[in-house]
């Protein structure tokens, strides 16, 4: 069955479809030894090369888990003293699977974390070109103003790096605390906390609730995981296309 070349590249973990289209336009992709063009369709027996490396047509055996990470757990595969790590909560009945974390959450944050056995897919999920947004539920203390909101959306430079939200929705106020739902496109280290701190707001609770099209299930208890379906995996591969 023939499929479009850019779709095949995206599903192979090279990048988003838009990114793969740019690769084709830049003449970095060949099909059967010939320069590929936009709109090319490929069959199973065609030889696809990107930067001189052959990309195989192997059937996808990608697996994906979603974990509801508790607070107080390190996003690490190495133990530090007696502090629990995220891999303590993953399945242990199949030692042949090497789980790869898709991004991180700091020790004081909770919520959605994804794990896959497919390195290419993990790289695809984390690469900026894939344009996959993340959503967080935040409780913060301090005075929130329209001016601060605008700064957080326009972008704030911290140590030469620009941080910003793509959306901020104000929620319920509780005394000196207020709830927010925020979205951003990247997964820089402690990015949400840095943005709030830069405008004088102190975060007391931070929870990731969405990664692209995947939402944290409301019935998934902290410390528990479920395996996602091939349809849900494909929804990430085709997100924003």
Place of tokens 């479009």: 4
Alpha helix ranges (H) inside 77-210:
119-126, 146-154, 191-198
| CA distance linking residue 187 with residue 130, whole number of Å | 12
Q: Please report, in angstroms and rounded to a whole number, the separation of the first and last CA atoms in the chain.
A: 21
Fill in the DSSP letter of residue 41.
E
Around 205, how many Cα atoms within 13 Å sit in the side-chain half-sphere? Answer: 12
Residues that are catalytic: 106
> Three-state SS for 24?
helix
Q: Which pair of tokens denotes residue 3?
A: 């499929």
| CA distance linking residue 232 with residue 228, whole number of Å | 6
Distance of CA 178 to CAs 109, 165, 193, Å? 17, 17, 15
Q: Among residues 131, 126, 143, 118, which one has the least CA distance to residue 58? A: 118
Q: Which pair of tokens denotes residue 54?
A: 């052959």
């Amino acid at each position: 069955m023939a499929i479009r070349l850019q779709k095949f590249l995206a599903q192979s973990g090279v990048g988003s479809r838009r990114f793969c289209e740019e690769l084709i336009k830049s003449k970095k992709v060949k099909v059967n030894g010939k320069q590929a063009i936009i709109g090319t369709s490929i069959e199973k027996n065609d030889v696809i090369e990107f930067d001189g490396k052959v990309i195989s047509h192997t059937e996808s055996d990608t697996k994906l888990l979603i974990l509801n990470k508790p607070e107080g757990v390190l996003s690490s595969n190495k133990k530090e003293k007696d502090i629990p790590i995220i891999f303590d909560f993953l399945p242990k009945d199949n030692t042949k699977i090497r789980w790869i974390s898709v991004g991180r959450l700091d020790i004081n944050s909770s919520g959605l974390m994804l794990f896959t056995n497919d390195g290419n897919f993990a790289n695809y999920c984390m690469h900026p070109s894939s344009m996959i947004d993340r959503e967080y539920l935040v409780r913060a203390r301090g005075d929130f103003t329209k001016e601060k909101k605008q700064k957080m959306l326009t972008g704030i430079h911290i140590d030469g790096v620009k941080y910003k939200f793509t959306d901020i929705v104000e929620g319920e106020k509780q005394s000196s605390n207020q709830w927010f739902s925020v979205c951003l496109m990247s997964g820089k280290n402690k990015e949400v906390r840095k943005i709030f701190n830069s405008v004088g707001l102190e975060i007391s609770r931070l929870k990731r609730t969405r990664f692209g099209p995947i939402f944290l299930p409301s019935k998934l208890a902290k410390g528990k995981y479920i395996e996602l379906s091939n349809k849900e995996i494909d929804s990430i591969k085709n997100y924003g296309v």
